Amino acid sequence: MHLSARFKLLCFFALFFVSGLASGEENCRYFWVVRDGLSSPEHVDELLARAQAAGANGIMVQVVGRGEAYYKSDFLPSADFSGFADPLLYVIQKAGPMGMEVHAWINAYLVWSAPWEPESPDHVYHTHPEWFTAHSNGRNSRSYTTEQAEAVGLVGATLSPAFPGVREYIADIAVELADNYNIDGVHLDYIRYPNSSFGYLPGEQEIFHLATGLSPEEDTELWGIWRQQQVTETVAIVRASLRSADPGVLLSCAVMANPYFAASEFSCDWQNWLTMGLVDFVCPMAYTSDPERALELAAATTSVHPEKVVYGIGVWNQTVSNALAGAQKALSLGAGGICVFSLNSLPDGGGQTLGRGWGTGSPEHGISPAYFNRVRIP
């Protein structure tokens, strides 16, 4: 290669890496938008206007909740969104011209949380009852009442990460969205076990036994590692499926903020996902209202690949100013941005406070390690 050409190429890559790793002004300023905000076009217009006034440059809009679709799906039963032809399409058409990315938020393993059963016979609750995880006491997650579920730390009926059919089910949803909508990303929520007491369906234990020759009680450490691998494999399959369907669609996950607790208690090894390049970024849910705890979580969440961390704060349980303390600390440690839960619960005046405290500029996602590392499905 000619010397001048080589020099230009090196300069290009230097500029590319610097811009790709930039944080601070060039950061993600996102809101989570809960599905009840999709009740009408007028409600969506109001929410998006508030997001724009706050200086947001992206939204995570919940389009799969309780195993039902808030978009036109050939795969999932439809949610009740009367007054809308297609909520997701409407959001995309409105948010794009406002300069906001649209990420399709999917509740992954959690598929039902109402006190009644799903009406549609096509709901996964009815079509695949064998896919649902169980408590260590043997009780299936489909069988809990709301009060009973709360007592064991269960949100609702939850699919098992151990079954290949479950992974394909989640990947199919992601691909359907990427194929049919001009979305910027897919955002996985509830991509974890409910807690360490779940995963004990006989079928789940049988898969572990086939892989190791052991029962969970015979090697609790290996059991914990294996459970993490099941969740990681789901993320890997979604990543590979999206790469095939549309390589430009980003993949992100909402995760428990404490990385050690996320991995040990919920089998959600999200720091490893960042290192492997399985996700483009994560949104740690640091919803604490304790300022000291917020600073601790800011440090913990940014200890690995901080530029891939979009720090999540809650504004339903505290003032926006209080929530921003931890977020600003995370930004100072190199975090790639802030995500606020939620736009639906943003208090009056909260947008102005955010606008003064969470930066300006375009979203910056940097370079995925997947481009440099060979990604292997566990």
Q: What pLDDT does residue 374 have? A: 46
Q: Is the pLDDT of residue 24 over 80?
A: no
Q: How far apart are CA 281 and CA 301, in angstroms?
A: 12
Q: What pLDDT does residue 9 have? A: 36
Alpha-carbon Rg for the chain in angstroms: 21
Query: What DSSP letter does each residue of 92-151 carry, written as one string?
Result: HHHHGGGT-EEEEEEE-SEEE-SSS--S-TTSHHHH-GGGB-BBTTS-BGGG--HHHHHH
The rounded percent of the chain whose pLDDT value lies above 90 is: 87
Task: State mean pLDDT over 361-367.
Answer: 80
Confidence of residue 54 (pLDDT cuts 50, 70, 90): very high
Confidence of residue 370 (pLDDT cuts 50, 70, 90): low
Mean pLDDT of the chain: 91
Q: Which of 84-98, 210-224, 356-370 has the lowest mean pLDDT?
A: 356-370
Q: Is the pLDDT of residue 161 over 70?
A: yes
Q: What pLDDT does residue 62 have? A: 98
Q: How far apart are CA 145 and CA 335, in angstroms?
A: 39
Q: What pLDDT does residue 372 have? A: 52
Q: What pLDDT does residue 22 have? A: 36
Q: Which are the contacts of 29, defined by CB distance < 8 A and separation ≥ 6?
A: 54, 55, 56, 57, 58, 337, 338, 354, 358, 359, 363
CATH of the domain spanning 102-280: 3.20.20.80
Q: What pLDDT does residue 84 have? A: 87
Confidence of residue 369 (pLDDT cuts 50, 70, 90): low
pLDDT, tens only, 164-221: 999 999 999 999 999 999 999 999 999 999 999 999 999 999 999 999 999 999 999 9
